[in-house]
Amino acid sequence: MSDLTQPFKRLPVAVIGTGSYVPERRLTNADLEKMVETSNEWIVERTGILERRIAAENEHTSHMATRAAERALESAGVSPEEVDLIIVATITPDTFTPSTACYVQNNIGAKNAVAFDISAACSGFLFALKTAVQYIGCGQARTALIIAAEKLSTVVNWEDRSTCVLFGDGSGAAVLRTGDQPGDGAVLASDIGSDGSLHDLLRIPGGGSACPTTTENVHERLATLAMRGNETFRHAVSHMKESATSLIERAGIQPEEIKLVVPHQANLRIINAVAQRLTIPADRVFVNLQKYGNTSAAAVAIAFDEARREGRFGKGDIVLLVAFGAGLTWSSAAIRW
């Protein structure tokens, strides 16, 4: 029997590989000008977005998740059979059940992995990271594959100019592993939080058990994204700043030690406001939302992978990831590469 009076020794956890995937089709601001009453100038001024990627009709969330997963495994030098745990973060699953993670498990041949989904909206990738760290840290898994994938084009109201300009499709993934000693990519600390009292700021009101889609209400487009933009903006900035600040303190690092901040890619004004409050210079903040828009849970994952591949950080550098999403949810993680 174990001695419960002794402190629990948590195993070190590291990110050892990343991958991402975005669909080929580009939907530009000029294209949107033909669909709704908007303009390139209006979109760029308020969001910073120039274009977004849209998945093909027969390209499901699981397909995009699989592509990102394969690239992450290749980056890590890990075979599918070595994976013990697969977590997919998404609000646009292929089906309500089975989970998208089970489709991915089958697609990549990860026959030894347990697989499940989580739903934390735009915070989902870092919620998955936190969950995987707990599994690995307590010895319940050795190798985890975390994936964030979204086909938001299926839940966007393409007649609502205030929201349809924001979102795109894509996926990102990472492989986490433990060892006797912390290695490159060590997860220094992670943080997640929720405030369900603000659930109505950003949501998909219909399509679930509370409001099923019926022939009588289908014309109301209730199974699409609805957002109270100004309030969401305010809470996004404050919670991302608070989560990152708390994380920096717990990790025992200083803001000037952070090589790169990879924030949720929702809105350039939100990104700039968070960076200013953290006193992080703009040249140490990674931004790619101009190319992809807001891909919800996938946004931080895609940005993290792109930043790594572009050489924006290297061995020994500290990277801070921070996100905010519907729920309300927020999350952050510090990684020493």
What end-to-end distance do the CA atoms of the chain give, in Å? 37
Tokens of 103: 């489709």
Exposure b/e, 264-284, CB count within 10 A at least 16 = b = bbbbbebbbbbbeebebeeeb
Cα 255–258–262 angle (5° rounding)? Answer: 110
Annotated catalytic residue within 29, 60, 63, 122: 122
Tokens of 90: 């998404």
Please say if 239 is a catalytic residue: no
Annotated catalytic residue within 29, 60, 239, 294: 294
| Residues forming a β-bridge with 171 | 21, 149
Please say if 58 is a catalytic residue: no
Strands 143-151 and 318-325: unpaired
Annotated catalytic residue within 29, 63, 264, 267: 264
Please say if 264 is a catalytic residue: yes
Cα 263–265–268 angle (5° rounding)? Answer: 95
Could you list the active site residues?
Answer: 122, 264, 294
